[in-house]
Amino acid sequence: MKLATFIRVNKKDIINDWTTHAKENLHLPDGMELEAVEDHIVQMLDRIVDDMDSSQTDDEQKEKSRGKKNVDLDQLESAFNHGEQRLTYGFDFMDLSSEFRALRASVLRLWSEKSRKENWEIDFHDMIRFNEAIDELWINSLKRFQEKLDESKNLFLGILGHDLRSPISTLKGANSVLSISENLSEKQQKIIKYSNFSIDRMVELIDNLLELTRLRLGGGISFNKKEMDLCKQAKKILRQFRLGYPEQKFDFTCHEEKLVGKWDRLRLSQLMTNLITNAIRHGEEESPISVKVSSDEQWVKFSVHNDGNPISEEVKSRIFSEGFTTNGKEDSKSKCYGLGLLIAKEVAEGHEGHIEFSSSWEKGTTFTVFLPR
């Protein structure tokens, strides 16, 4: 009996064998009934049989083996549904892969025991077609599993960022009430100022988190461009940092009295804050952070420089990646690059500009943002 025919006739035995494996080897979550374990298996076996019975040229077989065959999405519905359901029940990648491995083993073992012919040429061809069909379902089930997992993570990040705003707003309001008191000592006033700076930093981190969520969901970053003075805004940002980091030295240079352009004030403030924070984190503690605003005929440039260990060649190629961290033995402060550089890059490109950086032992590290005039 051909393998496709065997599967069609013996579906019940195959499902029973596969279910036994699931009950013995998978840690099924509480509340998952046997019917849920068997969900989609009948449809997937039907899809496998239909695939094996369909005609296939050598070229089509080659494309399929490389995962490039065009398949009607309706034919993969059972695999998609299976991946989504397994995520809902708390399965991981190993659990899901183990199911397909067990299904493959159940089919081939029962076929070998009951019906396989002693015709190795035909049997070998049947096994190739079977393995192609089950691998297609397996990969697409994993793909949907990952897509839904990413959606869940992004939703969680969005909810987390949104819900954190309320308690932070309450803290900010309480500080505002305290700050108007006439009985505060100089020390108490400084404490409130430091507290306000920390609250502003938390808001910026939440904003970065929400921007990352938008980027992951394909929405991109929105911009509201209006005329603004980049020098004035940079000075304002630096005043906040001098308040929050009183021990850190900052040098500021603006080559013109005003550098006005049509940009998004909020986004550029976010960009500048991220770059300065990054310089503080990775620079030498006793060396100043240099912030410079300059221009030429084509660009207005904002740059941040710090001395300290240079960025390695390995890191340079990935430094604008999402949440990138190095793998060295440095402490967590020195090895985490966070989301700031990714957001800075997106903001610069959203203004039809770009960001460049250089880093060496001799000259330190400089990030420069180029904005069109």
CATH value of 226-372 in 2.130.10.10, 3.30.565.10, 3.20.20.70, 3.40.640.10: 3.30.565.10
CA dist 97 and 142 (Å) reads 8
Q: What percent of the chain has pLDDT over 90?
A: 23
Across-strand partners of 304? 291, 367
- Give the pLDDT score at 206: 78
CA dist 275 and 205 (Å) reads 13
- Give the pLDDT score at 159: 64
- Give the pLDDT score at 352: 94
- Give the pLDDT score at 32: 62
Domain boundaries of the chain, sorted by first residue = 3-152, 154-216, 226-372
What are the tens digits of pLDDT across the range 85-117? 777 777 777 888 888 888 888 888 888 887 665
Number of Cβ within a 10 Å radius of residue 96: 19
**Contact criterion met (CB below 8 Å) for 275 and 208:** no
More confident residue, 342 or 227: 227
pLDDT range class, residue 333, cuts 50, 70, 90: very low
Mean pLDDT throughout 52-61? Answer: 78
Average confidence score pLDDT of the chain = 80
- Give the pLDDT score at 202: 80
CA dist 279 and 241 (Å) reads 12
What are the tens digits of pLDDT across the range 206-240? 777 777 666 665 656 778 899 999 999 999 999 88
- Give the pLDDT score at 329: 40
Among 109-118, 324-333, 361-370, which is the least confidently predicted range?
324-333
pLDDT range class, residue 335, cuts 50, 70, 90: very low
- Enter the CATH code of domain 3-152: 1.10.490
Q: What are the φ and ψ backbone dihedral angles of 299, each rounded to 5 degrees?
A: -125, 150
Number of Cβ within a 10 Å radius of residue 318: 12
Strands (E), the chain: 226-229, 250-254, 260-263, 289-295, 299-306, 324-325, 336-338, 354-360, 364-372
CA dist 75 and 73 (Å) reads 5
